[in-house]
Amino acid sequence: MPADALTTSVPEVNDDAGETTDNPVVPSPVRGNHQITALRLDTYGATQNKGANDSEFVALPTTVSLETKVKQLTQELATKNDLLLSHQALLNQVQQAITCQICLEFMHKPYALSPCGHLACYDCLVQWFKAPPPDDRPIIPVTSRKKTCPHCRAVIRNRPIEIWGFKNIVQSVSKTNLVRNQSAAPSDPPENQNFNADPWANIFPRIPHGGRDVHNPARGEDVGMLDMEDGGIYRCLTCMHEIWNGVCTGCGCEYPGHRHHEDDDDVDLGYLVDDPSAE
């Protein structure tokens, strides 16, 4: 049958005139199975591509959020590192301040020297004050020796004083275990130990209870020998050198009988330096 025979003439209705026209209508060709399958695959692929594009569009804010979080954490880490370095620098300064410059250990029993104000631990000061003279000078009792600061060599005029506030700082730092290569704090003293014992016994002269009565005449061992032939000066009983402000200018013996006559504001500190011309 010829192809033209498949064309069917359908009369066209004209609503306005109520007439029909003989225009033929060509129906859509019937799709095969393979064409329908291809159409479905195209539709599925378009849907998948749309989902992928949507996923990329949604993931963009997530990526920006992660970058912001990483930047924030990096800044926080840098801030904490700076703070850690500051704490370490402070700890090093505190460690240096509480370390005895003689034994290089923590000053668990710190004492301050007068008038220079330097600090040292008790054991080191005892060894320093009891050390024999380096030259051929006669060995005199420790209580009568001229005592100097182990740091600046200034003459020590008074008994060293224990610094309790400084001692508490040393104990606090020791308990943190932040400083290595330091000896442990000394153990607590036994219960039967006399806490009122003089730590400077046989090293510094005893302090009389209530002070000296200025109305009583001073003993020779406290003031030295009065030399009236040389203008009424006092001389040392050991080496016969002149006594200035309670200290012998030759051997450094101390004569506490002169101390109650001194005015601390008017004391001439020139005698603190050994001057051979004074002999």
The domain segmentation of the chain, as residue ranges, is 40-97, 99-180+200-207, 218-279
Shortest CA distance to 182 belongs to which of 198, 171, 196, 193? 171
**Angle (deg, nearest 10), helices 33-97 and 164-176:** 150
CA atoms of 239 and 236, how far apart (whole Å) = 6
What is 99-180+200-207's CATH superfamily? Answer: Zinc/RING finger domain, C3HC4 (zinc finger) (3.30.40.10)
Q: What was the pLDDT predicted at 75?
A: 92
Degrees, nearest 5: CA angle 227-228-231: 95
- What is the pLDDT confidence band of residue 125, given thresholds at 50, 70 and 90? very high
Check residue 8 and give its pLDDT.
45
Angle at 181 between CA 180 and CA 186, to 5 degrees: 100
Residue 183 scores a pLDDT above 80 = no
Q: Residue 99: its pLDDT value, please?
A: 93
Highest mean pLDDT among 22-26, 38-42, 165-169, 206-210: 165-169
End-to-end CA gap in the chain: 156
Identify the pLDDT of residue 208: 55
Q: Which residue has the higher pLDDT, 182 or 275?
A: 182
What pLDDT is stored for residue 250 in this prediction? 83
Prediction pTM value: 0.50
Q: pLDDT at residue 41 above 60?
A: no
Instruction: Report pLDDT for 47.
Output: 55
CA atoms within 13 A on the CB side of 149: 22
Count CB neighbours of 278 within 10 A.
Answer: 13
Enter the tokens of residue 128.
């320093």
